[in-house]
Structure 1
Amino acid sequence: MMNVLTQVLVIGVGGTTNSGKSTLTKRLTTAIAGSSSMCQDNYFLDPGDERLNKLRIPELDCWNWDKIAALDMEKMVADIQTKIDEHSCSVLFVEGFLIFDYEPMLSFFSKKYFLTLTQEECRRRRSLRVYNPADGPQYFDKVVWPEYINVLEQVKLQPDVNFLDGTKDQDEIFNQVLGEVKQLLENMGQSV
């Protein structure tokens, strides 16, 4: 007989592009038995979706993929709710660059982490990745960084966000977050 969990702990791992969100989330999911994760990147609209028309940037000949409207957030919220309702995991890590910028999601999170980077480090890391569709030559400066600054300013208004420097040692960040999540689980009476 399956042990049905009474409560799912939902942990948000947000932050700028290439700040280490996915790496941290994967490590945490591996380290905590019975945990699961969801990635906001899986909810981008398809390039042919007409909802993207309002996000077109003619001077760059591309869409603004760094706005919440470029994602199917209603589906993401529904999928998170399903995971919670099914009690299929003890901890659900929700990772993404705009997860704290969508009001209907905020009530899910028991703990919120937001990884930051300097503009120079963010640009450097992003230049090492391949995106589909690919970034145009001015996309980072005209879209990615300004959108991140807008989100960061909004997230700073939320009193319960734990900011982490994404340039710190990955093991140090991982150990800090793992320890805090384990403490939350112990406080809920769940074995770790």
Structure 2
Amino acid sequence: MDMLTKVLVIGVGGTTNSGKTTLTKRLTDAIPGSSSMCQDNFSFGKDLGDERLNSLRIPELDCWNWEKIEALDMEKMVEDIQTKIDEHSCSVLFVEGFLIFNYEPLLSFFGKKYFLTLTQEECRRRRSLRVYNPADGPQYFDKVVWPEYINVLEQVKLQPDVKFLDGTQDQDEIFNQVLGKVKQLLKNMGQDV
């Protein structure tokens, strides 16, 4: 790759279980020389430290709120994205996560932003099929996951350059729509796909 070639960064955000990871994997597989980064890999988890972990504690549910930006090492994520860009190690970098559009330092990286939505019922249904560690408590979805998602969604709606996609649509349709746009952006940048 020419060292002057710019890395195109595509953000794939959305609610839990909306298809972010599946879409990102398919796009990465379809575009030679592309790479991906998942926000989940930047979770502090139990390594957060007692004081910061306590700030995420929800005593009435006897659990922690893993849906907040404070549960993620966002500074490290920004650093890792910048390194990928500086090294020109890929032509397209897909960045996916549930809070990627809610952290100001990330926003300037994105050449295009997609946000996958779901209804509360569908989100609950899909989440109930997954195994989490730690496991969701009986009220975690209704009292934490969904309210946090609504807050995130309201913030993302204020950004004029986000393309919202219905996560219940056919996955092939979503994939083809995004792939077509990414290929067009690469072509506009003078890159062959």
Consecutive unaligned residues of structure 2, counting only runs of 5 or more, are none
Tell me the equivalent position of 1:83.
84
Give the 3 Å change call, closer, same or farther, for CA 5–127 of structure 1 in structure 2. Answer: farther
CA RMSD of aligned residues (A): 0.9
Q: Which runs of 5+ in 1 are unaligned?
A: none
Shift of 1:19: 0.1
Q: Does 1:23 align with 2:2?
A: no
The alignment partner of 2:137 has SS state of: coil
Distance 1:66 1:80 in 2: 21
Does the CA-based 8 Å contact 1:29-1:37 persist in structure 2? yes
1:4 aligns with: 3
2:184 corresponding residue in structure 1: 183
Structure 1 counterpart of 2:156: 155
Contact 1:5–1:89 at 8 Å: present in 2 too? no
Q: Secondary structure at the match of 2:46?
A: coil
TM-score by length of 1: 0.98
| Paired-residue identity, % | 86
* Structure 2 counterpart of 1:132: 133
Is 1:141 aligned to residue 132 of structure 2?
Answer: no
1:11-44 deviations in whole A, cap 9, x for unaligned?
A: 0000000000000000000000000000000000
| Contact 2:48–2:71, Cα closer than 8 Å, also in 1 | no
CA shift digits 1:117-173 (9 cap, x unpaired) = 000000000000000111000000000000000000000000000000000000000
CA–CA distance in structure 2, aligned partners of residues 158 and 48 of structure 1 = 32
Amino acid at match of 1:172: E
Alignment of 1:11-90 (within 5 A): 11-50=10-49, 51-90=52-91
Q: CA deviation at 1:6?
A: 1.6
Match of 1:168 in 2: 169
State the one-letter code of the partner of 1:44. Answer: S
Provide the secondary structure at the position in 2 that maps to 1:47: helix
Normalised by the length of structure 2, the TM-score is: 0.97
Aligned residue type for 1:93: F
Aligned residues: 191
2 CA distance for matches of 1:159 and 1:97?
Answer: 18
Shift of 1:49: 2.1
Deviation string 1:81-118 (CA, Å, 9 cap, x unpaired) is: 00000000000000000000000000000000000000
1:4 CA drift (Å): 3.3
SS across alignment from 1:155: helix
Supply the AA of the counterpart residue of 1:143: V
Partner Cα separation in structure 1 for residue 36 and residue 174 of structure 2: 18
The Cα shift of 1:55 comes to 0.6
Matches of 2:170 and 2:152, distance apart in 1: 24
Alpha-carbon distance, 1:53 to partner:
1.4
SS of 1:114 mapped into structure 2: strand
CA distance in 2, matches of 1:52, 1:83: 30
Tell me if structure 2 keeps the 8 A contact 1:5–1:90.
no
